[in-house]
Amino acid sequence: MSSCSHEHDNALHGVHGHHDIKARLVEAELLCTAAGARLTPLRKEVLELILNASAPMGAYDLLAKLKGQADRPAAPPTVYRTLDFLLEKGLIHRLTSINAYIPCCHPREGHQAAFLICTECHMVKEASAQGLIQQLDQLAASDQFTAQHSIIEISGKCHQCSTAP
């Protein structure tokens, strides 16, 4: 899988396999500071776990990792609040169909994404969904409906799993 770069507008790319996690964490701190928020040690730790993961992580996976690394593990409500903060700041995405979290490849862009999720190997690829979101917004507007949030997830088999013997 390729690492995230900010030069691939609509290109499909893997969301895991980041080469420079330290740089991503520094970027997250700068984004939070610019927004008048703080990337607390727990928020940073949860983001780092998600960035380091090789697949989407569920909240209980995160809780188990945090429990294994701390004398006094964070309570589930605290972890959920932390995930809500990271989602609100655009640093991670929640894949609702599998109830798991992945890093956002373009946190500073505030983009709308579409995700291809392999049901076999759990590999996730992300692409910009700006054109699709505009169409969905037009559809909603035609019924005087104001859309607040859209997430596009497509489940199926990736090329590798489809062609495996």
Is the distance from CB of 122 to CB of 99 less than 8 angstroms?
no
Place of tokens 């420079």: 20
Per residue in 22-35, pLDDT (tens digit) is 999 999 999 999 99
Q: Is residue 110 part of a domain?
A: yes
CATH assignment of the domain containing 100 = 1.10.10.10
Q: Among all chains, which residue has been given the structure tokens 């390729």?
A: 2
pTM, two decimal places: 0.80
* 156 assigned to some structural domain: yes
Structural domain for 53, as ranges: 13-163
- Among 125, 119, 87, residue whose Cα is nearest residue 10: 125
Per-residue pLDDT reduced to its tens digit, 121-154: 888 988 877 788 888 888 888 989 887 777 789 9
Alpha-carbon torsion (33, 50, 53, 41), positive or negative: positive
Q: Binding site annotation covers 158? A: yes
Residue 8 lies in a domain: no
Determine whether the annotation assigns residue 104 to a binding site.
no
- Tokens 């037009």 map to which residue? 138
Element (H, E) at 5: none
